[in-house]
Amino acid sequence: MRQPRVGSPGVAVSTLLQAIVNGLMTGSVYALLALSIALIFKTMDTVNFATASMGAFCAFLFFQVGTVLGLGWGAGLAVAAAGAVVLGWAVERGIVRPLGSGDLFRLVLATMGLDIVLNNATQIFFGSGVQNINAPLPSGGLNVGGVNVDLARLVILGVAVAGAVVLALVLRYTNLGVGMRAYAQDPQAATLMGVPARTVSRWTWIISSLLGLIAAIMVASVSVLSVGFLQGTFISAFTAAVLGGLSSLPGAVAGGFVLGVLEALSIAYAPRAVTIALPVLIILVVLMIRPAGLFGRLSATRA
Amino acid sequence: MSAPDTRQEAATRPGGRSPIALLRRLPGRDVLVALLAILVVLALSGSLTGYQAYVVTVVVIFTIIGASHTLLFGAAGQPSVGHAALLGAGVYAGIAVSRHTTFGMEGEFVAAIVVGALIGVVIGLPSLRIGSLYLAIATLALCIVAQQIFFEWTDLTGGGAGTQVSPPKLFGAVYTPLGLLYIALVVMGIALLFARNLLRGRQGRAWNAVRTSPLAASSLGISLGWQKVGAFGVSGAMVGCAGVLYAHAVNYVSPSDFSLELSIVTLVIAIIGGQRYLWGAALGAIFVEGLPEMLRTAGEFRYVIYGAVFVVVMIFFPEGFAGGIAALWRRFGPRRSAPPPGPVELEPTATLVEAELARSVAAEPAPAAAAERGGVGLTVRDVRVEFGGVTAVDGVTLDVAPGTVVGLVGPNGAGKTTLLNAVSGFVPVTGGEIRVGEHLLAPRRPAQRRALGVGRTFQNLSLHEGMTVLEHLLIGQHAVAGYGPVGQLFRMPAYVRGERLLRQNALETAELLGLADLVDERVENLAYGVQKRVDVARAVVARPRLLLLDEPAAGLTPDEGDDLVGRVLVHSRHVGATVVLVEHNIELVMRVADRVVALNFGRVIADDVPDVVRRQDDFVEAYLGG
């Protein structure tokens, strides 16, 4: 088959398609971490700046148990998940509840302090080396009509979509989920209607922590594991959440995919500086033009 | 920041001849204490090793940066997570000057202050549109962009490898690390002095007003946008200044220094030290920058320790170290007076009110005379206000003659407060026009309407928490203060004279509204009825030409309500102001108003002298249910 000339319509279309496919795959990770951020914001009215360090800490647990101690993936996942639950619970019990709901900015700062603590704790416990978690993901790729689809990333996309679907089901069909949604809309009314505020708050943090863990393992399995390895993804996920309106879960997912595609497109077509600055530019543009994001609603207190 | 002026205190609270009371009467005692602290550091500095001098210098630098947050976050309420960008801007502006010119630090400071202020303004621009949490996000984003720019601008910054900084040179002389410490102390002294001058007086009050109640602030002629962006500019200038010192202190700077973490650390310094107190910045800097150095034996655990302490302080000392110390001092320190803790009640002075009520019923309004004395008319033509599908005000037309008192009545939801909000500029008018005197209101922002003489009170109280009654009366005079930020920065005669007049006028108004004994009380300690008085006093203190009173008697006992409205009307008739009185107490309105306008479902259903309106059928039906 004759190679199409550079710049011919065939190449242009396949480059575009390739960028979109790559973007959707990267975007799936953003979407999952953005869900973690948006879930907290929707229910608790705050941004958890320790999202990345919490997820990273648990991903290290997973690596330590599964690979270093050689107990395998299953044991690693179980311990990491337990760690995420305990961490989410501890943060809610130890920081969120004592600080109360009066001053949301104070809580934001406290999570920043937590981020410092956790990052340094990770380094102390697990060292500052760079690890490869050797995920048992399929290698190679499929070629679909000239577009290369990396199998490992395809699996990750699947996991992310599954995670989002499970979360949606939990929120829609379980008592806890309905309580969380009611609490998010109006904490006072929900509490008066018998929604247990503490339970809602506790599980919001635990679920958010678990989402962070999944995202962390996903990122580590296609790149590497090191202290602070999730920070870049966090910035992107945070951008995705802002893009989606911060308080909207579907918005967070959509924002994740949109950002992933935009990033991939800018890698393919724009100078490097644009790619680097892209999340920030998006945040600024969204905040200046439409602070409620694509899907969010803006409450008077936050406006 | 909220410390009452010493002279004021001496004037209203005689007695107290103890040394501490005498010290308190000394003007500028805070400056003396600060100078003393700096002198102590100087005295000890002789025995410092080079490394210790470096640590102290870093603490001094971060005190300046922390103090910039005291202005920006503590006073103006604007959280910035972008201060690393400002520090970097100062650093590289200084480096550029030292490389490309023959100037030493004298030139570097000028460049860094200018660049810092400009970048500060840029970082602050989003604050015009968005609230504090989103602002933190926007500044965070800008911080990351700035760091990327530093990385890419390799000519100046050396990119990832970093760049060497020339030794500190000031007016031709080269300084050692110890010498740099002296320079840093002087710069810190000047920066803190300027910051303190700005926080005292009109500027500081305006920032605090913007933070505690933006709505009320804009009704007083305080432009929210200018105040916020201005605070960012001042903060940026301070941090730029600190940047020059930082570059020389560390000798070698890399773009990786100016990370998001650094931004957060600077904010942590201000908050952990107590963001409402300038000296809190010093405590915070000692804790965050000094302590980890002292804790070097704790090894890698020290950041865990300090992060954990930060979280604990956030939970248990919401006002930081300085706030905690100030609270202890208030509790256990020498008493400045016998403070009446808890709510303070007022006795209505019935005679004054009755006199006014009797007068107002008897007297003919004299619009011509009133106009000369400063009253201004309000003209409302076919005004509509719609929220989505709801029409709150539906084609209202009314005229308020200068110097008259017009009562605006109607059932709940009739559109009374919405109409006031339209005049104040808090809700957009979707049709018709409003004029104050000859001036069309439509294009003017809320803060600009104060210049036309529009003042107002708030139905649900919009007071400035943490500030005293006197400070409220001073904030009320923001638009007529007679001096600007520059005069205040340098304590020029205009400032001193202006402040004296403002205080005098504030005390007169306090007297008039029966608040004279409470001027030094914080408003949150006052009973509701008294708070209501403060809200009204803040509106009348600068003598608005058109005063909008939004349910001044709501929530008060009938006696309290009569008393408050009576006192205000005595004042406004005295100065000839026009008054629009929204009030549910129909009997009160009928007694004091020259005209009564009744609204129902956003329309005018009656507009006449009280006695006529009282007998009008649809008014009676709407109001009393037939």
Q: What residues contact B296, with CB distance under 8 A and at least 6 apart?
A: B302
Give the per-residue pLDDT at B299.
Answer: 61
Give the per-residue pLDDT at B4.
Answer: 41
Q: Which residue has the higher pLDDT, A238 or A113?
A: A238
- Shortest Cα–Cα distance, A126 to chain B (Å): 13
Pick among A57, A109, A234 to test the B interface (most B CBs inside 10 A)? A109
Residues of A in contact with B211 (CB under 8 A): none
Domain holding B606, by residue range, is: 350-453+544-624
Q: DSSP of B555-575, one letter per residue?
A: TS-HHHHHHHHHHHHHHHHHH
Q: Which residue of A has its CA nearest to B81?
A: A109
Q: Which residues pair with B280 in a beta bridge?
A: none
Q: Which residue of B has its CA nearest to A106?
A: B314
Give the per-residue pLDDT at B569.
Answer: 87
Give the gyration radius of chain B's Cα atoms. Answer: 28
Give the three-state DSSP class for B483. Answer: coil
Q: Are residues B570 and B496 part of one domain?
A: no
Whether the pLDDT of residue B277 is over 60: the answer is: yes
Nearest Cβ partner for A116 among B133, B144, B303:
B303
- Shortest Cα–Cα distance, B79 to chain A (Å): 9
Number of structural domains in chain B? 3
Q: Are residues B144 and B268 part of one domain?
A: yes
To which H or E segment does residue B299 belong? Answer: none
Which amino acid does the sequence have at A102?
Answer: G
A110/B315 CB distance under 8 A: yes
Q: Which residues pair with B582 in a beta bridge?
A: B408, B550
B588 assigned to some structural domain: yes
Q: Are residues B611 and B482 part of one domain?
A: no
Domains and CATH numbers, chain A: 18-122+149-289 (1.10.3470)
Alpha carbon distance B487, B479 (integer Å): 15
Question: Which domain-ending residue is among B332, B364, B399?
Answer: B332
Give the per-residue pLDDT at A10.
Answer: 62
pLDDT in tens, B352-371: 555 555 454 444 444 444 44
> Angle formed by the axes of helices A249-269 and A9-44, to 10°?
150
Q: What residues contact B123, with CB distance under 8 A and at least 6 apart?
A: B80, B82, B85, B86, B139, B142, B232, B236
Percent of chain B residues topping a pLDDT of 90: 27
The domain that contains B121 carries what CATH number?
A: 1.10.3470
Q: Is A274 on the interface with B (CB under 8 A)?
A: no
Average pLDDT, chain B: 83
Nearest Cβ partner for A287 among B79, B126, B261:
B126
Q: Are residues B589 and B498 part of one domain?
A: no
Whether the pLDDT of residue A2 is over 70: the answer is: no
Residues of B in contact with A46 (CB under 8 A): 133
B245 assigned to some structural domain: yes
Q: Is B460 on the interface with A (CB under 8 A)?
A: no
Q: Is A230 on the interface with B (CB under 8 A)?
A: no
CB crowding B150-174: b at 16 or more within 10 Å, else e = bbeeeeebbeeeebebeebbbeeee
Give the three-state DSSP class for B596. Answer: strand
Give the per-residue pLDDT at A247.
Answer: 82
Residues of B in contact with A103 (CB under 8 A): 318
Alpha carbon distance B597, B225 (integer Å): 35
Q: Are residues B307 and B182 part of one domain?
A: yes
Give the per-residue pLDDT at B84.
Answer: 94
Q: Are residues B316 and B405 part of one domain?
A: no
Give the per-residue pLDDT at A101.
Answer: 63
pLDDT classification of A82: cutoffs 50, 70, 90: very high
Alpha carbon distance B425, B448 (integer Å): 9
Percent of chain B residues topping a pLDDT of 70: 87
pLDDT in tens, B201-235: 899 999 999 999 988 999 998 988 889 999 999 99
B221 assigned to some structural domain: yes
Which amino acid does the sequence have at A54?
Answer: M
B53 assigned to some structural domain: yes
B47 assigned to some structural domain: yes
Pairing state between β B405-409 and B578-582: parallel
DSSP H stretches of helix in B396-540? 416-424, 446-449, 469-475, 485-489, 493-512, 528-540
* Least confident window among A155-159, B122-126, B266-270: B122-126
CB crowding B380-416: b at 16 or more within 10 Å, else e = beebbbbeeeebbbbebebebbbbbbbbbbbeeebbb
Nearest Cβ partner for B79 among A105, A110, A120:
A105
Please identify among residues 262-291 of chain B the ones whose CB lies closer than 8 Å to any CB of chain A: 264, 267-268, 271
Average pLDDT score over residue span B415-423: 90
pLDDT classification of B57: cutoffs 50, 70, 90: very high
Nearest Cβ partner for B300 among A120, A283, A291:
A120
pLDDT in tens, B496-506: 888 899 999 89
Q: Which residue of B has its CA nearest to A235?
A: B141
B305 within 8 A of B298, measured Cβ to Cβ = yes
Q: Are residues B72 and B159 part of one domain?
A: yes
pLDDT classification of B24: cutoffs 50, 70, 90: low
Question: Which domain-ending residue is among B511, B543, B575?
Answer: B543
Alpha carbon distance A237, A215 (integer Å): 10
**Max Cα–Cα distance, chain B, nearest Å:** 90
Whether the pLDDT of residue B302 is over 70: the answer is: no
pLDDT classification of A194: cutoffs 50, 70, 90: confident
Average pLDDT score over residue span B310-324: 82
Q: Is B328 on the interface with A (CB under 8 A)?
A: no
Q: Are residues B358 and B308 part of one domain?
A: no
Give the three-state DSSP class for B6. Answer: helix
pTM: 0.81
Q: Is B133 on the interface with A (CB under 8 A)?
A: yes
Give the three-state DSSP class for B424. Answer: helix
Q: Is A267 on the interface with B (CB under 8 A)?
A: no
Q: Are residues B539 and B504 part of one domain?
A: yes
Average pLDDT score over residue span A245-252: 86
Q: Is A112 on the interface with B (CB under 8 A)?
A: yes
Q: Are residues B358 and B216 part of one domain?
A: no
Q: Which residues pair with B595 in a beta bridge?
A: B406
Q: Is A290 on the interface with B (CB under 8 A)?
A: no
Alpha carbon distance B498, B514 (integer Å): 24
In degrees and rounded to multiples of 5, residue B255 shows phi and psi of: -55, -25
Average pLDDT, chain A: 84
B109 assigned to some structural domain: yes
A47/B130 CB distance under 8 A: no
Q: Are residues B190 and B70 part of one domain?
A: yes
B340 assigned to some structural domain: no
B341 assigned to some structural domain: no
pLDDT classification of B297: cutoffs 50, 70, 90: low
A264 within 8 A of A26, measured Cβ to Cβ = yes
The counts of H helices and E strands in chain A are: 12, 2
- B520: nearest Cα among B571, B484, B471, B474: B471
The domain that contains B552 carries what CATH number?
A: 3.40.50.300
pLDDT in tens, B239-256: 999 999 999 999 899 998
Question: Which domain-ending residue is among B521, B543, B565?
Answer: B543
Give the per-residue pLDDT at A137.
Answer: 78
Q: Are residues B592 and B485 part of one domain?
A: no
Inter-CA distances, B311 with A88, A94, B315, Å: 16, 10, 6
Average pLDDT score over residue span B299-318: 75
> Angle formed by the axes of helices A197-222 and A151-173, to 10°?
170
Average pLDDT score over residue span A184-203: 85
> Angle formed by the axes of helices B278-285 and B177-199, to 10°?
150
Alpha carbon distance A114, A251 (integer Å): 27
Average pLDDT score over residue span B412-437: 89
